[in-house]
Chains A and B, each alone.
Chain A
Amino acid sequence: MAPENLDLPQGTLELLILRTLALGARHGWAITERIQQVSSDALCVKQGSLYPALHRMQRQGLLKSHWGASEANRRAKFYELTRKGRGQLQAQTAEWRRLTQAVGQVLEQA
């Protein structure tokens, strides 16, 4: 893990999970790996905090889960997006873009 890795701002973990699962069903460990890999280890997802978030999103109907076999042929719990989850991903992505753009503008020009 890179020493200068970033803490996630409040609420972004959910967006990262949604984005990661947009490519297909994954289990919790794979989600962690994927986020770190894609962000070049810059983002530090506290591994434990992933699970309460997954459970919450499942309760909210953004995700659904099933038990399947992992790569190593072990039983693992796979999460995937529901239709509602996809809608949420689009909405949150757009929101995030607007936010970062606005903040960026302020930082550049103010």
Chain B
Amino acid sequence: MRYWRRRRERELNEEIQFHLDRAAEKAGSAQTAQALFGGSEAIKEECRAERRGATLAGFARDLALGWRLLRRSPGFACAAIATLALAVGVNTAVFSTMNALLRFTPPFRDPGRLAVIVGADRQGNPLPFNPVWSGDFADYRAEAGAFEEMAGWSYSDANFSAGAEAAHVQVLHVTQGFFEVWGVPAAQGRTLAAGGGPREVVLNYSFWKHVLGGAPIVGRAVRLDGQRYTAIGVMPEHYCDNSGNGQNGLFGPDVFVPLALTPAQLNAHDRATATALQVGGRLRPGATMAQAKTEIATIVRRNRSRYPGDGPDAAISLAAEFLSSQSENALLMLQGITGLILLIGCASIAGLLLERGLARGPEMATRMALGAPRRRLVRQVLTEALVLAAAAAVASLGVAWLAQWPLNVLMSNGQPLVANLDARVTAFSLAMALGATLLAACGAAWRSSRSLAANVAAQPARQRLRGTLVAAEIALALVCLVATATLIAAIRQEIQAPIGFDPLGLVTANVTLAGPAYVSPASRGEFAARLQAAAQALPGAQAAAIVNGAAVSWDQPTVAAQGTAPAAAPSDPPFKVVAVTPSYFATLRIQQLAGRAFTSTDSNQGAPGGDRQPHRRTASLSRLCQPARALPPRGSAGRTRW
């Protein structure tokens, strides 16, 4: 290779020299000959450029030169690479999170045809995860023609045992057609068949893999709360895992069991008698969302007049939309700010490159004088920028990777969102790094290659351009600062807003009482008392309490307090009743607005672990969620509820 290159060089020199010698003979002087010929070095350079593979070879040479020059000025290189890496990296991280959130597709077959039906307020605004009553579900399913299949599901928990293994599991009770709606077959065995046995259970992958150790399970007998079931299948890995990629955000149980709704449940349209269901459906091919919405709305209107009270309200949305409808605003704001950061980064890079181009004025002038064509010089400057951008791109991937974690935590909103830096995002980052640098380099290249004179003396223009860049940077930084300050203020406000209880040092745990030993309210009450005493006796525990549900949750029955119209104002939030032990308010440090907390002398008929339906009982109006709106402000403490 090198031999050929040397030989070609020698031949080129010889050829030109031959010409010059003959011309000198004719003209009588070497100077005249040279003048007629033109600059030999420039001509030679042009000849070299005509060689096969010259572009590539020249590019490789420029790359090597660029790398050497960057290494010779490590300060400049580090500053430029760090600036770009930071700007592009952060932008990439936000972009990929946005991407994951907005372009999120649930791991189901043909997700564009999947719809979720949730409860809604009287204006038809969806209340995410608010349930649909079983009777309404039956009507939607029977009458809405836009749907090919519709299914409902509800949660419970149970003790699961398979051989020696035992675990406390989340059980999803699913109606017929559930697996057909999502269109994903089992990874092993089969899913629950229509009209199949009621004692069949399908396992979720992560439960089977991580809790049961992935042992062969299909066809084996398992027990749920002591009842015998047959395991008939395991769902695929990404179907509905609660962690990792592809979790679907709609449901994530450990096991699926069939839910056969009784005729009574299929006709129940109110809170007291109906089963609460989450509902999803698959649109018929050719049917549109608008069609489905109209149909559901019609049924809702009819049922509302037919079953007054806490009758049906439902909203319907595409599964993908439903899942990505959270935290978009915050992300858009973040994207805006990071976009500004990118701009600042670009301005800084432009400044750096320009400054460098000017500092290299004499070098460029020398090379021009030696006959380097303008094309070559521009290419050299651009190649150098390319080297810079490549280094920055690699570094920015590192930054993006690091920035991912806080972003994911920030944006996940309880449901973990794993936004991987995928190929497209990587390409995006590389394109941004390249684009920003090349854009800046073009300016520098154009300037430094203009003319000899421009390189030697370019002070005034240089000052002006630098001034403009600095001004732009400061302006952008200011906008960024203001936006960030606003964001921080908003977050502070959010953090300092009272949530109704003191989460500091609060530890919670779930217990399910199952099996014949806990059938009677007395035995459950006794267990609760023992549990609370034991918890209170734990070293370091200040107080302990038991509640038959989470402190703030949506799956507790909503009741209307005596003396107020049921859900009088349309915007009234539903409020929940939970059974608690007297120490509950002290433990959670919940302040009463008026009246007093429970004492042990209050009725304990509905103690947690006992009946789930509370009976006549003194209520303590507490500040759980939205205190002012829970009841009309007219001294309701001391009144009787239920």
Stretch among B14-22, B163-171, B411-419 lining the A interface: B14-22
Determine if A73 is an interface residue (Cβ-Cβ < 8 Å).
no
Tell me if A96 counts as interface (CB < 8 A to partner B): no
Mask for B416-431, Cβ within 8 A of A = 1, else 0?
0000000000000000
Query: For the complex, what is the distance from the CA of A98 to the CA of B361, rounded to whole Å?
Result: 49
Q: Does the CB pair A74–B38 fall under 8 Å?
A: no
Complex Cα–Cα for A29 and B18 (A): 8
Q: How far is the CA of A31 from the CA of B49 in the complex (A)?
A: 22
List, in ascending order, chain B residues with CB within 8 A of A70's CB.
18
Select one of A59, A67, A77 contacting B50, CB under 8 A. Answer: A59
Distance in angstroms between the alpha carbons of A5 and B18 in the assembled complex: 25
- Nearest Cβ distance between residue B22 and chain A, in whole angstroms? 4
The reply on B317 being an interface residue by CB < 8 A is no
Do B47 and A51 touch across chains, with their CB atoms under 8 A apart?
yes
Cβ proximity bits A25-64 to B, threshold 8 Å, 1 near / 0 not = 0011100100000000000001111011001100100000
**Which chain A residues border B52 with CB–CB below 8 Å?**
59
CA distance A49 to B43 in the complex (A): 7
Q: Which of chain A's residues has its CB closest to B49's CB?
A: A52
* Residue of chain B at shortest CB distance from A47: B37
Q: Give every chain A residue within 8 A of B37 (Cβ-Cβ).
A: 47-48
* CB proximity to A under 8 Å, residues B576-593: none
Indicate if the CB atoms of A48 and B50 lie closer than 8 Å.
no
Chain B residues with Cβ under 8 A from A75's Cβ?
A: 14, 18
Q: Which residue of A lies closest to B35 (CB)?
A: A47
- Judge whether A76 is part of the interface by a CB distance below 8 angstroms: yes
Q: Indicate whether B595 reaches chain A with its CB closer than 8 angstroms.
A: no
Q: Which residue of A lies closest to B42 (CB)?
A: A48
State whether B19 touches A29 (Cβ < 8 A): yes
Contact B47 A77 (CB under 8 A): no
Contact A56 B18 (CB under 8 A): no
How many residues of chain A get a CB closer than 8 Å to chain B's CBs?
Answer: 19
Contact partner of B22 (CB less than 8 A), chosen from A29, A56, A67, A77, is A29
**For residues 45 through 65 of chain B, which have their beta carbon under 8 Å from a beta carbon of chain A?**
46-47, 49-52
Scoring B residues 18 to 34 as 1 if CB is less than 8 Å from chain A, else 0, what string do you get?
Answer: 11011100000000000
Q: A52-B43, A77-B11 are in contact. Are A47 and B19 (CB under 8 A)?
A: yes
Question: Is B40 part of the binding interface, using a Cβ–Cβ cutoff of 8 Å?
Answer: yes
CB pair B50–A52 under 8 Å, yes or no, is: yes
Known contacts A29-B22, A59-B50, A59-B52; A48 and B43 CB within 8 A of each other: yes
B39 at the interface (CB under 8 A from A): yes
Q: How far is the CA of A55 from the CA of B22 in the complex (A)?
A: 20
CB within 8 Å of A: which of B198-255? Answer: none
A29 to chain B, nearest CB (A): 4
- Closest approach, in angstroms, between the C-beta of B460 and any C-beta of chain A? 36
Smallest CB–CB gap between A62 and chain B, Å?
12
Q: How far is the CA of A75 from the CA of B14 in the complex (A)?
A: 9
Interface of A is mostly: helix
Q: How far does the Cβ of B45 sit from chain A's closest Cβ, in whole Å?
A: 9
* B522 contacts chain A at the CB level, 8 A cutoff: no
Bound: A51/B45 CA distance, A: 11
Q: Complex: how many Å from CA A28 to CA B19?
A: 7
Output the least CB separation between A69 and chain B (Å): 11
Q: Is the CB of B36 closer than 8 A to any CB of chain A?
A: yes
Chain B min CB distance to A34 (Å) = 13
Main secondary structure of the interface of B (DSSP, over half): helix
- Nearest residue in B to A50 (C-beta to C-beta)? B19
Query: Is B18 within 8 A of A52, CB to CB?
Result: no
How far, in Å, is B572 (CB) from chain A's closest CB? 83
Residue of A nearest to B53 (CB): A59
By the criterion CB–CB under 8 Å, are A59 and B51 in contact?
A: yes
> Contact: B43 with A76, CB < 8 Å?
no
Residue of A nearest to B33 (CB): A47
A83 to chain B: closest CB distance in Å? 20
Distance in Å: Cβ of B24 to nearest Cβ of chain A: 11
Residues of A within 8 A of B51 (CB): 55, 59
Q: Shortest CB–CB separation between residue B559 and chain A, in angstroms?
A: 90
B19 A49 Cβ-Cβ under 8 A: no
Max chain A C-beta neighbours (<10 A), residue from B21, B39, B46? B46
Residues of B within 8 A of A28 (CB): 15, 18-19
Give the CA-CA distance A78 to B51 in the complex, in Å.
17
A52's contact among B19, B39, B47, by CB below 8 Å, is which?
A: B47
**CA–CA, A11 and B384, complex, Å:** 33
Q: Closest residue to A70 on the B side, CB-wise?
A: B18
**In the complex, A24→B40 CA distance in Å?**
27
Complexed CA–CA distance, A48 and B38 (Å)? 6
**Beta-carbon contact of B39 and A76 below 8 Å:** no
Return the chain A residue nearest B22 by Cβ: A29
Contact B18 A49 (CB under 8 A): no
**Closest partner residue, chain A, to B46 (CB atom):** A52
Residues in B with CB closer than 8 Å to A47 are: 19, 23, 36-38
**Chain A residues, Cβ within 8 Å of B11:** 67, 77
Task: Specify which chain A residues have a CB less than 8 angstroms from the CB of B14 in the assembled complex.
Answer: 75, 77
Looking at the assembled complex, report how far the CB atom of A52 sits from the nearest CB atom of chain B, in whole angstroms: 4
Residues in B neighbouring A32, C-beta threshold 8 A: 19
- Contact B49–A29 (Cβ < 8 Å): no
Asked, given contacts A46-B38, A56-B50, A59-B50, whether A51 binds B16 with beta carbons under 8 Å apart, the answer is yes
When distances are taken between beta carbons in the complex, the residues of chain B under 8 Å from A29 are 18-19, 22-23
Q: Is A76 a contact partner of B18 (Cβ separation < 8 A)? A: yes
Flag A9-32 by CB within 8 Å of B: 1 or 0 each: 000000000000000000111001
A29 to B37, CA, bound (A): 11
CB-CB under 8 A from B18, the residues of chain A are 27-29, 70, 74-77
Inter-subunit contact B23/A48 (CB<8 Å): no
**In contact, A55 and B23 (Cβ under 8 angstroms):** no
Chain B residue numbers with a CB within 8 Å of A55 are: 47, 50-51
For A44, give the chain B residue with the smallest CB separation: B36
In the complex, the 4 A-B pairs of residues with the closest C-beta atoms, listed nearest first: A48-B38, A52-B46, A55-B50, A48-B43
Residues of A whose CB lies within 8 Å of any CB of B are 27-29, 32, 46-49, 51-52, 55-56, 59, 67, 70, 74-77
10 A-B Cβ contacts within 8 A?
A27-B15, A47-B36, A51-B16, A51-B47, A55-B47, A59-B52, A67-B11, A75-B14, A77-B14, A77-B18
Which B residues form the contact surface with A (CB < 8 A)?
Answer: 11, 14-16, 18-19, 21-23, 36-40, 42-43, 46-47, 49-52
Extra contacts, 9 of them, besides A29-B22, A46-B38, A55-B47 (Cβ < 8 A), are: A28-B18, A48-B38, A49-B46, A52-B43, A55-B51, A59-B50, A67-B11, A74-B21, A75-B18
